[in-house]
Structure 1
Amino acid sequence: MSNPRILIIGAGYGGMITTVNLAKELSPDDADITLVNKHNYHYQTTWLHEAAAGTIHHDRTRMLIKNVINTNRVHFVQDSVVKIDKDNKKVILKNGELSYDYLVVGLGFESNTFGIKGLSEHAFSIRSVNTARKIREHIEYKFASYNNDPDAKDSDLTLVVGGAGLSGVEFLGELVDRIPGLCREYDIDQNKVKIIDVEGMPMVLPPFERDLAEYAQRYLESKGVIFKLGTFIKEATPDGVFVQKKDAEKMEEIKAGTVVWTGGVKASHIPADSGFKTNRGKIPVTDDLRAPDDDHVFAVGDVAVVFPAEGKRPYPPTAQIAVQEGELVARNLKHLIKGEPTEKFVYKKRGTVASLGNHQGIGVVYDKKLKGKPAAAMKKVIDDRYLLELGGVGLMLRKGKLNFL
């Protein structure tokens, strides 16, 4: 009798932790494990805002999958997923197909522009290593061209960020760290640079308590960021954006050389297109993280939605919850293969930290509020803890943010 075939699609936080833990939990005689991913690397999604601003090199955010997984236990396939054929237990790839007995869906997110006119064509979004690199290169090009291009305009030095959630505010924090260096490098008066954030909500960082959110806003404003709260981007153009304040009659044009949209993401379209039961594009998983309409399919990360109880709001799709989902899915797959009952998912909320550049931050960790440098240090500890769990001390020392060497 052949071994059960476990197929993991997507090498995000949930997919990678599932894969690494399965290789530890199961022996070669227990199951055949295959991981499929579009790229040959895994990357830290929560570091992309730094790469986009240029405060770290984009290579720092990623690591080759073959250097993280146990290649003696896991077969890696670099390919793009086209569709899941759940009736026949197959995944259709761009260059072939793979059969499975158990499937783990961890396909991640896509940018959500909410139908705003021109946003897809004229704004950047931070959604991958390549898009982050493109943003950094674009910003540097605008600064490099300012004193050399006869057609350069002052508005080329204006940066508009759409959204003041976690991604938007962390990106703003990196920008205020990066801009002074760019101005020195390209002989630009820093007073000519404008950083404008447009947010539809009346406050920044809605998930955080008001005092922490206000601390973040005050810090960024002290560094020159202009917030337009209760204001919506209505259209993006080659020259900038049109915005409108709530209840205002007219739109305002903001001319800008760079527009970066951080205002929302949505789950990969593939589960819904493949016929799975979804809730706003996400698979509403059962208490052991399986698809409600297919006991052989698990979902983790951005494609999964977990409700703490009936009638309650779902848990936010963070890296923290994706890692915990990956840990449980690995254990539950082992239970199924061994003929044991599965475990229920219990989310252990350890807290949330937002960086405001390299030396500032806010957060709540185990119910303790942090501001300033302690929060920034804790963010680095959290990042390095993930690397330690994923690939051990060696990976943490190579890629981590705390200088142990």
Structure 2
Amino acid sequence: MAKKVVILGAGYAGLVCALELNKLTTAQEVEIILVNKHEYHQLVTQLHEPAVGAKEEKDVTLSINSILGAKKVKFVKDVVVSIDNEAKEVKLENSKLSYDYLVVALGSETEYFGIPGLKEYSFTLKSVNQANRIREHIENCLKTYSQDKKDSKLTFVVGGAGFTGIELVGELADMLPVLAQKHNVPKDKIKLINVEAAPMILPGFDEELVSVAKKSLEARGVQFIIGTPVVQVEPGIVHLKSGDTIPTETMIWTGGVRGVPVVAEAGFETEPRGRAKVDEYMRAVGHEDVWIIGDSCFVLAPNGRPYPPTAQISTQMGENAAVNIYSTMKHMKKEKFDPVLLGAVASLGRKEAIGSIGNKMKAKGWLAYRVKDASKYRYLAKIGALLKS
């Protein structure tokens, strides 16, 4: 009798897991059900572009049904409510699903670190809907400035200087002058501020490349406030630990992630930020029939630091989980999760980027931007969406 594999979430990890499992198995061996709350797969690494209007929603979303085509993966559009790992059942808003093997790939939520007002009065950038809200808000700020001349409408603050924060700042640095001209707003009135609690931007990145990125962004008007945490956000004002305040109508928070509540509520073992602990085969600790992958889990790299929540790590987790589910079904030896890190590239807007390729090569400027572009197309080819993008 076919084993039933339920995969929750069609982000990078969940979608790749479903596609790999489809390749490894026959319809007689396995029934694969993929659950996602939207009908589309989001290219989350590209969200900074629609957030400023540089690209449209259709450029960063792909129809899940189109990707799956005639494959033996059943897609269910629904929202996960709870997981009962004793009964081996998932409760959705509109139905229930039983499983033999479960894959949890529900991504993460924004971490607000208990900062008062931050959740209530800031934008986040974790979905195409949020990107659309940011774009509409920025346009509205510039459009209505001529009516009330409030300078806070022309001050844009991005909290967090990791990948998401810096890539967003780069796009904003390019697009704000264009939007200012469109709405007849003086360019010199616009302020773009990046606030980071750590002592440097892009923590963990090569220092020489970080310096290149900082100079490029500063040359386009970005003001950095580094080593200074945000301590409170109120309507129209951001408070910093230094005692300084920034009057602004736009606070975009990119400063961290935590696990989705449904994982901890199901009784899986988690670390302090609510991400699930997993074994070397990506299984939930103490559960041989549940795999937790992508941003929903917490895995330490050999250097003792957790692997970052990146697309390349998530896709490799998806592949590893698929192989290990198949190996479990066939009573074969499982594969330990040992990702191949191909490097990291951060775009800076203006067809410019910085990146490390492999362990040794550094890239900057247009070359690094092309490398980032190539990684996107490599991923689209992997999921069979190159011709559909």
TM-score, L = length of structure 1: 0.93
Per the alignment, residue 305 of structure 1 pairs with 298
**Partner of residue 402, structure 1:** none
Instruction: Name which of 363, 369, 375 aligns with 2:355.
Output: 363
C-alpha distance after superposition, 1:2-35 (max 9, x if no partner): 3110000011100000011111211111111100
- Alpha carbons of 1:358 and 1:20: their partners in 2 closer, same or farther (altered >3 Å)? farther
Query: Which stretch shifts more, 217-226 or 324-333?
Result: 324-333
How far did residue 49 of structure 1 move? 1.4
Q: Give the distance between the partners of 2:292 and 2:137, measured in 1 at CA.
A: 36
Aligned partner of 1:198 among 189, 195, 200: 195
Write the distance in 1 (CA, Å) between the matches of 2:135 and 2:57.
9
1:185 paired residue among 182, 185, 190: 182
Quote the offset at 1:362 in angstroms: 0.5
Is contact 2:112-2:119 (8 Å) kept?
yes
Q: How does 1:130-169 map to 2 (within 5 A)?
A: 130-147=129-146, 149=147, 151-169=148-166
> Does the residue aligned with 2:83 lie in a helix, a strand or coil?
strand
Please state whether the residue corresponding to 1:136 is helix, strand or coil: helix
Deviation at 1:308, TM superposition (A): 3.4
Amino acid at match of 2:44: T
Q: Deviations over 1:72-122 (max 9, x none)?
A: 411111111111100010011111210000000100010111111111111
Asked if the contact 2:268–2:276 (Cα under 8 Å) also holds between the matched residues in 1, the reply is yes
Residues 204-236 of structure 1: CA deviation (Å, up to 9, x unaligned): 111201111111111100000011111111111
Structure 2 equivalent of residue 220 of structure 1: 217
2:115 and 2:231 in contact (8 A); partners too: yes
The DSSP-based 3-state class of the residue aligned with 1:16 is helix
Q: Out of 349, 355, 375, which is 1:382 matched to?
A: 375
Supply the distance in 2 between the matched residues of 1:107 and 1:63 (Cα, whole angstroms): 18
Q: Distance in 2 between matches of 1:120 and 1:333?
A: 38
Matching of residue 372 in structure 1 with residue 365 in structure 2: yes
Matched, 1:232 2:225: no
Give matches, 1:62-211, under 5 Å.
62-147=61-146, 149=147, 151-211=148-208
Question: Given the alignment of the two structures, is residue 319 of structure 1 paired with residue 311 of structure 2, yes or no?
Answer: yes
Give, in angstroms, the shift of residue 177 of structure 1. Answer: 1.4
- TM-superposed deviation, 1:267: 1.6
Ranges of 4+ aligned residues in structure 1 off by more than 3 Å? none
Instruction: Give the letter aligned to residue 19 of structure 1.
Output: A
Q: Deviations over 1:131-178 (max 9, x none)?
A: 11100100011111122x2x3412211101111111110100000111
Deviation of the 1:304 alpha carbon: 1.6
Is 1:268 equivalent to 2:260 in the alignment? Answer: yes
| Paired amino acid for 1:121 | E
Listed as ranges, the gaps of 5+ residues in structure 1 are: 246-250, 400-405
Q: Is the 8 A contact 1:23 1:70 kept in 2?
A: no
- The offset of 1:338, in angstroms, is 2.1
1:259 and 2:251 aligned? yes
Q: Distance in 1 between matches of 2:362 and 2:311?
A: 20
TM-score (norm 2): 0.97
The residue aligned with 1:334 is: 326
Q: Deviations over 1:252-307 (max 9, x none)?
A: 22111211011111121211111011123122211111111110001110012222
- Residue 10 of structure 2 corresponds to 11
- What CA distance in whole angstroms lies between the structure 1 residues aligned with 2:152 and 2:332? 63
Structure 1 residue 397: deviation in Å? Answer: 4.1
Q: Which amino acid aligns with 1:255?
A: P
Give a deviation string over 1:355-389, Cα, whole Å, max 9, x none.
00141111101121011111111110111111110
Instruction: Report the CA distance between 1:317 and its aligned residue.
Output: 2.0
RMSD over aligned Cα, in angstroms? 1.3
CA 1:197–1:72 in structure 2 vs 1: closer, same or farther (change >3 Å)? closer
Partner of 1:287: 280
- Match of 1:49, SS state, is coil
Asked if the contact 1:3–1:30 (Cα under 8 Å) also holds between the matched residues in 2, the reply is yes
Instruction: Give distance in 1, aligned partners of 2:56 and 2:149.
Output: 27
Larger displacement relative to structure 2 (337-346 or 214-223): 337-346
Q: CA deviation at 1:332?
A: 1.5
Contact 1:232 1:243 in 2 (8 A): yes
- The answer to whether structure 1 residue 20 and structure 2 residue 40 are counterparts is no
Tell me the SS of whatever aligns to 2:35: strand
Counterpart Cα distance in 2 of 1:81 and 1:333: 21
Q: Does 2:349 correspond to 1:350?
A: no
Secondary structure of the residue aligned to 2:174 is helix
Q: Which residue of 2 aligns with 1:396?
A: 386
Distance 1:213 1:174, change over 3 A: same
